[in-house]
Amino acid sequence: MSMLIAALIFVVLLAVAIAHFLWSIGSRWPIRDPELLARTVIGKPGVTRVPKLASFIVSLLVLAAGVLALSLADHSAGGWWLTLVGVVLAAVFLGRGAIGYTEGWRARFPVEPFATLDRKNYTPLCLALGAGYLILVIMRLI
């Protein structure tokens, strides 16, 4: 069961990492208009393009998080430090998911279509990923 959860987390994060990597090399996939892409992905007022360096860093971090999910599924791998990393990842994703429903977050990232996509897709996805990491950690401990 833990391998299935880890694989689902990995596939989702791999897709996110690939999208961010593509943006880091100048691709405008899946939206041709760079300003609309920025409004869809970032949602912060005044942002007119997706920053390449930030996208590259995010792609690496997200890919690493996906690989760590696979590692967490192997109960004999990594020892206590890997379990601790799993707790941190669960906290990061659950925290991002929780903050996504606050008024402060909405005020900071009000630009459409990001605001709607965040409420309907990005924030629930973060909560699901955080729950997945939490389940993987619990399964390592029992």
pLDDT tens per residue across span 91-102: 999 999 999 999
For residue 78, pLDDT over 90 is answered with no
pLDDT tens per residue across span 123-140: 999 999 999 999 999 999
* Number of domains making up the chain: 1
Do 103 and 80 touch, CB atoms closer than 8 A? no
**What's the DSSP call for residue 48?**
-
pLDDT band at 30 (very low <50, low <70, confident <90, very high): very high
Mean pLDDT to the nearest integer, 111-115: 97
Tokens of 103: 């008024």
Phi-psi region of 31 (alpha: psi -120 to 50; beta: other; left: phi over 0): beta
pLDDT band at 62 (very low <50, low <70, confident <90, very high): very high
Residue 47, classed as helix, strand or coil, is: coil
Domain interval for residue 84: 2-141
- Average model confidence (pLDDT) for the chain? 97
**DSSP state letters, 87-137:** HHHHHHHHHHHHHTTSHHHHHHS--TTHHHHIIIIIHHHHHHHHHHHHHHH
Mean pLDDT to the nearest integer, 105-110: 97
Residue 75, classed as helix, strand or coil, is: coil
Q: Is the peptide bond before 45 cis (omega within 30 degrees of 0)?
A: no
Phi-psi region of 50 (alpha: psi -120 to 50; beta: other; left: phi over 0): beta
- pLDDT confidence of residue 103: 97
- pLDDT confidence of residue 50: 96
- pLDDT confidence of residue 77: 87
d(CA 45, CA 2): 40
* Percentage of the chain modeled with pLDDT above 90: 96
pLDDT tens per residue across span 50-60: 999 999 999 99
